[in-house]
A and B are shown apart, each in its own frame.
Chain A
Amino acid sequence: MINAILPKQFEPAQQLEFEMGCVDDLENIFGYFQILKNDESELFPEIAFRKLGEWGLNNFYVPRELGGNLESFETLFFLIRTVTRRDLSLAVAHGKNYLGASPVWVAGNDFQKKYLAKIIQENESVSLGLTEKEHGSDLMGNELTFVADKSNSGHLILSGEKWLINNATRCRAITLYGRTNNHKGPKSHSLLLIDKNQIDSNKFQHLNKIKTHGIRSVDISGIAFNNAPISKDYIIGNKGEGLEITLKSLQISRTMCSSLSIGSMDSAFHTVMSFILNRKLYGSHLYDIKFVKENFVKSFLMLLTSEALAITASRCLHVIPEEMNLISSTVKYFVPTVAEKIINNLGNILGARAYLRGFEHKGIYQKIIRDNKLVGLFDGSTIVNLQNMTTELSQVVKRISGDSFDVKKIKTIFDLDQNLPVFNPDKLSLSAKGRSFLTEIMCFSNILPDYNDLPISQNISDKSCKLIENIKSKYWLTEKVDKEKQELLEQYSWLIAITCLMNIVNSNQENLNKLYTPELKACLINSIYKLMINQEFLDQRSLNSIWELMINLYKDNKLFSLFDFSVGKSNA
């Protein structure tokens, strides 16, 4: 008899899930009915926001070393995923605190870290002020300035505007990105930690809330500074290091964003599953129509693969932080792209109900569609991440070899029982200069004793090596991202993700939901490979086995996940 234990790093999320109650409960502020009401009226979810603070979610944005609860990024991932499953708007509004704080965790001094930790633990918000109306993702183009104060050498004068900033109005503190010199080049900007309490209220103003397509209830506004003095003590890292620190912080946030995509998928599955089970069409249950079942099962496999990649990446932040540029960009490209596809596919199954806003008509779904679209937009769009992957891979393909890779690392990364090293932001790097552990195991895991019996690992390795050769032979770096490159990068992402899935299921047994027998595990990996790499159709047996798994998960009130995570009602 296989026992199932939820890995302890996911325990906080499990507790939060029970705390938030049942999504279908009309009175529940964490239930779909109330959430939809908020969305329609564009009102900020004050009560839910406060309750999250009372539960102690803020403590998880602060590292253990500073008195908070954050140890493993897996914990943060699952917590945000859990909130997103209810309401991505709420997750973004609350989780923004981590985004805002991360530059300080990465490069701040002790004083700044303690200062910020206190603010967050007092349940106040910190925002990230990065983007401007005219410059979007072009960080070096930003115009908000920190100019030397001629009357006080200990100060900088702050002028300019930030646009489309989450929590800009509600926050207490903001990590602000601005220009500290006029030279062209990467050393032109710095990051400052701004506490609004320390700025003369005449010298700044909040910009109006901007009405958005999705995350309607969130405080998306802006802030404008007018010659506001700020002490140089609040420069994060050193002057001129703004871009570098930001890029490193983005490696964390791009990885963590996967929780928003996966939480959205969780939401979508929950809604459509109940619909499928109850709806009849053409004389049969919807799930008896083969096309519907195939779509649903395929989407489920894509979800599991994304989950595997996301968890792997969360652990890699601890184990191989120096390689996170490529890993985080892969995650940020892959997971939101998959999420959009799945949410569309499942929406097609819902039919007209994916278009209706009333709660009684599964109105939550159109909110999921709109909210989820956000994830591909911020912290580096698809294209920015593909460009990043291009740059890194151009070096990886030159260096890669199966001669020596640290087999022990496989266990550290993929066995969820293994303790992770404390996250060390000093090890984050703007480029891994060709090192990529994940790419190596993707190409060469077939030579490992554990995988010799798995024909699939041979297939993955063969396909991967061919892909690498393909990449090597092209004028890779000199040209910008185009369709051809995008196709190769898409294939790369799938192979990496499937490799992660294979390694996670092979490295864990009791850590996974007990339904994942060895046969089913093999079926999952073979099926996703067949579907996404070979572009073939699922065979009837695999289709039925996986559908049965999904039914069982649903009936047991378990999340559609590799892990034994309960949803809605407490099993106690």
Chain B
Amino acid sequence: MLKQYEKTSQLEKDLGSMSDESNLFSFNNILSLDEKSVFPEQQADFLYKLGLADYFIPVNLGGKLQSFEEFISLWRSIFRRDATLGLGFGLTTFMAAVSGIYFGSDEIKKQIVKTIKNQKSISVAYHEEDHGNDLLHAEVFGEVTSDAIKLTGKKLVINNAAISGGLTVFCRTSQKAGARAFSLIYVNKENCNNSTLNYHEKISTLGVRGCKISGVEFNQTSAPLNSIISKLGNGLEVTLKAFQITRATLPGMSIGIVDTALRKTFEFANSRVLYGSKILSFTHVYETLVDAYIDISISDCVSLMSARSLHVITEQMSVISALTKFYIPKKLQNTLNDLSVILGARQYVREGHENEYAIFQKLMRDYPVISLAHANDVVCASTIIAQLKYLLWNNSASFQDQSVVKKIFSLDEKLPEFDADKLSISNHGRNSILESLAYLYHLISEINNNKIIDLMNDVCLKVKSSLTKISDSLYELKYKIKYVSLIIKDFDMQAYDCVEKYCQAHVAISCILFWVYNLKKISPWFDEGIWLVLALQKINNNYIDIEKEIQKSFQNKTLINIEYLVKENISFSLVPVKFQ
């Protein structure tokens, strides 16, 4: 097993089976907490005991966060069981801590580490009622005096606002117009007058019902000057960089939700008899299951690519992180919708004793928070569109360092330590992954010629032909983009379409690169490459042509693989992890 997955394997053992009624993490326990809109406190305590909160803290600050790939994999196991727990125990704390940990002074780092070690959450306070996530219009104001910064205003829809040990607050610190009018403050509740903090009552939500989402009103809340993360006026820049880390990592964790959905839907399809047959034998049913599995495989590639790129091509993360957050949540939401059709009425019944698939309606309600929280697809698309012309027309990227790309995609290569200082708010026209198109054809030919593995010639041929189609689509895009405006007000469906096409190309290349660089390291199923061919088709069905008989055969083999994974209790991820 690849080393970075050992801890996940152990975690899966520790968390146990969801079908086991006596288990803290059983479906019925999780469902009943959700019904009552109660946070899973016991489950959170268990995670604290396992030391999982240490993963919010980098190793060099005394924590366990070393590889984002490992981090995402661990949280995926939590999300497999309960998104409420994933979000409330971890994610929002991680999102809040990231800016202080990577851009704050030593004092702030110390305080954040202390809060987390004290088993307290940290809240991330950007969102305001009238401005959503439109940061440039934030109204919460931080008045800087000679020895303090005084906050006034309201932040709403903030997870854990009332119970957290601290808040990372985005506020306006100058009345001048422009990007330097904002700062990020780490408000340590131990260091401020708590009577100036007024908490909103719990805001009830469609999903993650147990999360303690509320809001906070600051009434001249005073925080010491050294609470300013980085420098006064750096709020926007730090935020954009911190967001790169969270946008790159959050979507991959959410795959856990869909893993559970596919698992349960498969079980249903394999047991439900209609018109005298198991519905698994119906064409639309098995096609949907196969599609869902391929969607998960694709999303996994994107997530892994993103997590590892954070370490290796940190300076290119502005586009890659936006792409990850753009692509995965939307795709997996569709996957869930498609799976729900198979379940029929059983997606609609909430009670476990009436319906052993009752967890599904919770998954459906929980998942949208992944796209909603923290920049939806449109916001991410507008991040990308601003750089798209440069990315497509940058001819100076003629030298490609293959070893860089190899390091990203070879899962057995050790990742360099993450250096936040390398984050940049622009890719400056570089995308090393897409640039690999220049030599990918050759790489695949090499594989075929050297017979590194007994591959189906079919797969190699098809993948090579897709490279041409992907190139063509990028070429077309170069000219389409000339007609698209970069101003956010002008952002339209045409611009969105351009972003989508660019992302598809990047995602497709990522999938191919994973395959090329990990042969004989994962599993025979992985090496065979059927998943890759189906993935390329799913990403954009113009990328690849599959004859009808071959399509059927590939679908069949994928179905057999799904059946095997369900039976053996193995994850649907690219790198399989055995569950308890």
Contact = CB atoms under 8 A, between A and B. Distances in A.
Interface string B318-337: 00000000000000000001
A352 B127 contact: yes
Interface stretch (A82-90, A206-214, A249-257, A433-441): A206-214
Contact of B361 (A213, A289, A358): A213
Given A136-B274, A355-B207, A281 B134 contact: yes
A182 to B, nearest CB: 15
Interface stretch (A100-108, A234-242, A376-384, A519-527): A376-384
Interface of A: 40, 131, 134-138, 140-141, 164, 210-214, 280-284, 288-291, 294-295, 340, 348, 351-352, 354-358, 361, 363, 366, 369-370, 373-374, 376-378, 381-383, 386, 479-483, 486, 537-538
Contacts of A486: 284
Given A283-B137, A481-B283, A138 B274 contact: yes
Contacts of A354: 206, 368, 372
Given A282-B134, A373-B347, 17 more contacts: A40-B204, A136-B272, A136-B344, A140-B275, A141-B274, A213-B348, A214-B348, A282-B137, A291-B495, A291-B496, A354-B368, A356-B203, A356-B206, A358-B203, A363-B204, A377-B347, A381-B344
Interface in B154-169: 157
Contact of A356 (B157, B274, B365, B488): B157
Nearest to B272: A136
Interface in B21-67: 35
Contact of A352 (B372, B490, B495): B372
Nearest to A139: B275
Interface string B76-98: 00000000000000000000000
Interface of B: 35, 127, 130-132, 134, 136-137, 157, 203-207, 272-276, 282-284, 287, 337, 341, 344-345, 347-351, 354, 361, 364-365, 368-369, 372, 376-378, 488-497
B350 A358 contact: no
A382 B348 contact: no
A289 B376 CA distance: 15
A355 B206 contact: yes
17 contacts: A211-B35, A212-B349, A213-B364, A281-B134, A291-B491, A291-B495, A348-B376, A351-B372, A352-B157, A352-B372, A354-B372, A357-B206, A363-B204, A381-B341, A381-B344, A383-B282, A383-B284
B494 A537 contact: yes
A555 B207 CA distance: 34
Contacts of B495: 291
A225 B4 CA distance: 58
Contacts of B489: 282, 284, 288-290
Nearest to B348: A213
Given A164-B349, A351-B376, A355-B369, A135 B274 contact: yes
B512 to A, nearest CB: 23
A355 B378 contact: no
Contact of B493 (A135, A210, A483, A537): A537
Q: 6 nearest interchain CB pairs?
A: A357-B204, A290-B492, A213-B361, A366-B206, A480-B283, A211-B350
Contact of A289 (B157, B368, B377, B491): B491
B566 to A, nearest CB: 22
Which of B203, B207, B282, B350 counts the most chain A CB atoms within 10 A? B203
Given A137-B274, A283-B137, A290-B489, A356 B205 contact: yes
Contacts of B378: 291, 348
B206 A377 contact: no
Nearest to A288: B489
A480 B372 contact: no
Given A164-B349, A288-B489, A355 B134 contact: no
A481 B206 contact: no
A409 B329 CA distance: 48
Contact of B284 (A131, A289, A482, A538): A482
B202 to A, nearest CB: 10
Given A213-B350, A291-B378, A356-B203, A537 B274 contact: no
A289 B485 CA distance: 12
A369 B137 CA distance: 30
Contacts of B497: 537
B275 A138 contact: yes
A370 B493 CA distance: 27
Nearest to B350: A211
A281 B488 CA distance: 10
Contacts of B272: 136
Contact of B348 (A212, A348, A481): A212
A408 B378 CA distance: 49
A305 B323 CA distance: 34
A382 B341 CA distance: 8
Given A290-B489, A381-B341, A482 B283 contact: yes
A377 B344 contact: yes
A366 B361 CA distance: 13
Contacts of B377: 348
Nearest to B208: A355
A537 to B, nearest CB: 5
A383 B341 contact: yes
Contacts of A348: 376-378
Contact of A480 (B284, B491, B496): B284
Contacts of A140: 275
B205 A357 contact: yes
A481 B288 CA distance: 12
A383 B275 CA distance: 14
Nearest to A40: B204
Contacts of A210: 349, 351, 354
A481 B286 CA distance: 11
Contacts of B287: 482-483
Given A136-B345, A355-B207, A479 B369 contact: no
Contacts of A164: 345, 349
Contacts of B344: 136-137, 377, 381
Contacts of B347: 213, 373, 377
A377 B341 CA distance: 8
B203 A294 contact: no
Nearest to A483: B287
Contacts of A40: 204
A210 B353 CA distance: 10
Contacts of A294: 492-493
Contacts of B282: 383, 480
Given A355-B368, A355-B369, A480-B282, A377 B204 contact: no
B486 to A, nearest CB: 13
Contacts of A136: 272, 274, 344-345
